[in-house]
Each structure stands twice: as structure tokens, then as C-alpha cells.
Structure 1
Amino acid sequence: MSGLVWLNGGLQAAASAGIAVSDRGFLLGDGVFETLRWRGGAVVRLEAHLARLARGAAVLGLPLPPPTTLAAALADTATANGLVDGALRLTVSAGPGVRGLPRPATPTPTVLVTAAPSGPALAPARVLIATVTRRNEHSPLSGIKSLAYLDQILARNEAAARDADDALLLNTVGHVACATAATLFAVLDGALVTPPLASGALPGTRRAALLAALGGEERILAPSDLRRATELFLTSSLMVRPVVAVDGQTVGEGRPGPVTAAALSQA
């Protein structure tokens, strides 16, 4: 993590910054977050990220600081840490509360920004279809980046235990929804496709950009579709990662294809 963080109005040393022990984000996962790419002195797709944060906060009934305040906090954190190319995380929790589920009548959100440099490029992924949990496409939480990530953690733990790099989550009717922290794209019959939001996919910022740039489409995907795909890749705000195997079966020719290369060129 960065040496300096932005917490509740200003920069502080990460080593001494503190969040209340009664914070509902820590105790209950009551909050939302965004992971953003910092590159060339600016946040990539800033407006899209802040709009998604606002939608998520509205679902949870959380007040947010003005977008200008959040944008300045992100820039200040990146600059203070000398970030050139890396990741920013903006977290907003419901703040301190009393014991139990009900929030204070007027919550005082905790707002935190952290920074980290980019890591090395990820190798092509071998993924599996998670069996320990499923994505609930009926829940409003499937469409927002809430702090509650336990289903994804369970699925990622299953992947690690079975010597895979990531897991794909099916929804309650058995359709493909997403990876643990990424959108899934597939090339089927020459077309670029991705699961629709109604399947439980998160409305990713890079997802929307790639659909517009490459002419992709939303389509319900069954696990059998993955076995006949000629290309698969994962996307998030920080990366485009080719997928070369699903449940031990090679995808296409077992290496990144031309559509994946085109997606990487949009990064």
C-alpha cells in the first residue's frame, strides 16, 4: 500500500491512519468501492468510475462527497505517492455505527483513497468454473462494487486449491456471469460477446469501453459456450488477461488470439 493515504478529508501517513472500530464497512461490509487506473497524470475513465460509485451508493443509501472532492482526493493521493502508472482504490463505507444492522439516522461515511504501483503483467490465465458458490443475479448487489466480496473470495480460494489462476461464477440458473474480480469476454462464431448485466455481470468501465470500441454484444453464455469459444479473456479497470484453459480444456489454440490482442491495444 502507499505511504500516504487520503482519509476523511486529507492526506495522512498510511502507517498511522486509523478507522473507527465501529466502522460499518469493517464490521458489516456496508459500503462501496472503485479500483481505478492512474496513468499519464490522470485517472482512466474517471467519469465512468464516479458514476458507477454514485449508483452503488444510491443502492445502499449512502451519501457521497461531491465528485469534484473525490476527483481531487484521487489526484492528490496519486501525486503525493509519486504514482506514475498504477492503481487507486476509492472506498466509501457507511462509517461508524452502533451495534446491530440499523444505521445511524444520519450516517457519517468513511472515505479512503489508497495508491499502489502497477505490478508485472499477468501471464495468461487458466480458470475453472466455481462449484462452491454462485452469483445471485437477482440481488441488487450484483450490479455494484460493494465491500461484500465473500462469494468471490470463496471462488478464488477454490481456484487456488485446484491449481487455477481464477474462477468463473455461474448465476442461479447456471449461466456464466463473471470472474471473481473481472468481466469475461468470449469470441464465439467470430463475434465478441460478454454476459449481460441481467446474468449478474458487473457493469465494468472497461467492459463498456470495449463493447463500444470493438463492436461486441451482450449474450447469455452457458458453460458449454466456453468450451467452443476460440478466444476468452478477462478485463478489469487494471488489465486485459487472456484465458488459455477452462477446467483443464484448452481455449482455441491455447494462446491469445487477434481479438484479445485488439482488446489489449485498447488498454
Structure 2
Amino acid sequence: MTNGIAFKDGAWVETGRTGWALGDRGGLLGDGLFETMHAIKGKVARFDRHMTRLGRSATELGLPGPREAEGIAEIIGELVARNALKDAIVRLTLTAGPGPRGLDRPDEMVPSLTLTAAPRAKPPASVSLALSEIRRSPASLAARHKTLSYIDNVQARRQARGQGSDMALLTDTRGHLSGCDSANLFWLRGGEVYTPATACGVLAGTVRAEILDSMPVEVGAYPVEMLEEAEAVFVTNAAFGAVPVTTLDGRPLGTGELPARIQALFS
């Protein structure tokens, strides 16, 4: 992380001084959640979707929401201004806070909230995928929620890079398409847009939600072979919007371009 200003538990601090407490359950056990958001001139794209997902996940995982919940939008605006950023990626990290040794949470949790900002990198023109040997379990909380337990994604990306690809493609434990290591997956076939269902171990992204609310999308459990017959394949996340996929394991996929109806959402 580059040097700059961060927000941590009600105070503005230098990013080099934002370390968690030694007993923080987020650092020790991955007991927490995060959101990655795109902020343009201090305004977060799809902010309400991010906060809805964070709140829903916190409720299901039994985590208290951030104490600063009502003012997060304003804090982000000040955060990017303090870092002199016009086009930024903001990371919100919410942990269960400190606790005793072991798995049991304390009777009264004191959640910890950290917000950091960095310049947004230019989105890639396209990405290449490598099919990962790592599988997502539809029953796993780490697959369905944006938790701090991200080792499967880290390892999948590392393996994909080792094969000369940009990103890993993951299936679920039944062999159905799930998504990528840091993005949701879509494809166009027969003029229809498709995406895997959340029941396939999919983390429901905010851009994914926007596409589903904007046009008809076929949602279900699909084999990897579906991609080989697609006219176009693309991936989505909050950082880069939508980007076309050119290859899977070195084999060409589709046209390598975004469908016009998807381009229109991000133009």
C-alpha cells in the first residue's frame, strides 16, 4: 500500500500506522468482511449496493455493523480528498475486533472499521483465464460472502499467473461454472446473456447485481463447455466494471469484445 491517509476506528491516521491490534480476530482468524469500491470525485459507484451487501453479510455472520455506518459516504468523500484522488479504489475492512484466544467471540464485540484509498489502475482491455483446480463449495460462507478468508482466491490467482493467464476461473464442487478469483462471470450465447447462479458458490457482486437489474439474464448451473460456444465472455467487478475475456487455458473464447448492451451500462 502506498503512503497516504486512512480512516481507522474514528481517527485519521497514516497508512503505515494502521496495523490491527494483536488480538484482532480479523487478522488472526479472518473474522471479518470487506468491500472494494470505485470512488469518482469522492462519490462511490453503486454505494447503496455495497452497503446492502455488507449489512446482509454482517447479519448472517453475526457481526455488528460499523459504528460509523450512517456517515461512511461522507468519510469516503473526505478520505479521497485527503489523499488528493479523483479516481480511486476504496477498501472498507470490517473486523469482529479484539477477542480472547480461540474461536469463541467475546460476549460484547467491538468491531473495527478501516477505510483506505488508492489510485484506480486503468482497467485492462481484456483478460485471459486459466481453469483452476480449486473448487468453490456452495455451502461455504467464504464463497457467498466477501470475507477476509481469501486464501482460495489468492492461490487460484497465483496458479493462473503461473500458467501465463491474468485470472483464474473457478467451478463449484459439482463442476458447474462459478466465477473468477476476483470477478463475476458472464457470457453471451444465442443472443442471451448468462451468468452462474449464487447457488454455484458465487459471490454476488455489485456490478453483477446492476446487470441483472438492467436486462434479462439467464441464471443457472452451467458446465464449463458453455463458454466454448459463447459469442462473448466477460468478467465484472467494482474496480474495472466489465472487461472481455479473450482466452481460457490458451484457447480463444468468443469475439474478445463486450456486447453492446453491456458497453452501454459503463459508457
* Contact persistence 1:5–1:77 (CA under 8 A): yes
**Whole-Å Cα distance in 2 between the matches of residues 264 and 92 of structure 1?**
33
Write the deviation string for residues 202-256 of structure 1: whole angstroms up to 9, x where unpaired.
Answer: 1111101112223323132211101111111110011111101112210123x21
Q: What is the CA distance between 1:264 and its match in structure 2? A: 3.4
**Whole-Å Cα distance in 1 between the matches of residues 231 and 195 of structure 2?**
14
2:178 maps to 1:177: yes
Over 3 Å counting, the alpha-carbon distance change for 1:45 and 1:110 in structure 2 is same
Q: What is the CA distance between 1:6 and its match in structure 2? A: 0.3
Amino acid at match of 1:230: E
Q: How does 1:117-128 map to 2 (within 5 A)?
A: 117-128=119-130
Write the deviation string for residues 116-151 of structure 1: whole angstroms up to 9, x where unpaired.
Answer: 1111221311101101x1001112332210000111
Amino acid at match of 1:265: A
Q: How does 1:1-267 map to 2 (within 5 A)?
A: 1=1, 3-64=4-65, 65=67, 67-131=69-133, 133-239=134-240, 240-253=242-255, 255-257=256-258, 259=259, 261-267=260-266
Aligned alpha-carbon RMSD (Å) = 1.5
SS in structure 2 opposite 1:130?
strand
- Percent identity over the alignment? 35
Query: Runs of 4 or more off by more than 3 Å in structure 1?
Result: none
**Whole-Å Cα distance in 2 between the matches of residues 151 and 100 of structure 1?**
23
**Whole-Å Cα distance in 2 between the matches of residues 256 and 249 of structure 1?**
15
* Contact persistence 1:39–1:85 (CA under 8 A): yes
Gaps of 5+ in 1: none
* Contact persistence 1:59–1:140 (CA under 8 A): no
Amino acid at match of 2:71: T
Length-normalised TM-score, structure 2: 0.94
* Contact persistence 1:32–1:146 (CA under 8 A): yes
Q: What is the CA distance between 1:10 and its match in structure 2? A: 2.0
Amino acid at match of 2:226: D
**Whole-Å Cα distance in 2 between the matches of residues 233 and 208 of structure 1?**
15
Q: What is the CA distance between 1:112 and its match in structure 2? A: 0.2
* Contact persistence 2:43–2:73 (CA under 8 A): no
SS in structure 1 opposite 2:17?
coil
Write the deviation string for residues 20-56 of structure 1: whole angstroms up to 9, x where unpaired.
Answer: 0111111111000101110143111111100100111
Q: What is the CA distance between 1:66 and its match in structure 2? A: 5.0
Amino acid at match of 1:111: L
Moved more, 6-15 or 215-224: 215-224
**Whole-Å Cα distance in 2 between the matches of residues 231 and 187 of structure 1?**
5
**Whole-Å Cα distance in 2 between the matches of residues 197 and 16 of structure 1?**
38
Amino acid at match of 1:118: R
Amino acid at match of 2:30: G
Question: Aligned pairs, how many?
Answer: 263
* Contact persistence 1:211–1:217 (CA under 8 A): no
Gaps of 5+ in 2: none
Length-normalised TM-score, structure 1: 0.94
Amino acid at match of 2:125: A
**Whole-Å Cα distance in 2 between the matches of residues 127 and 241 of structure 1?**
12
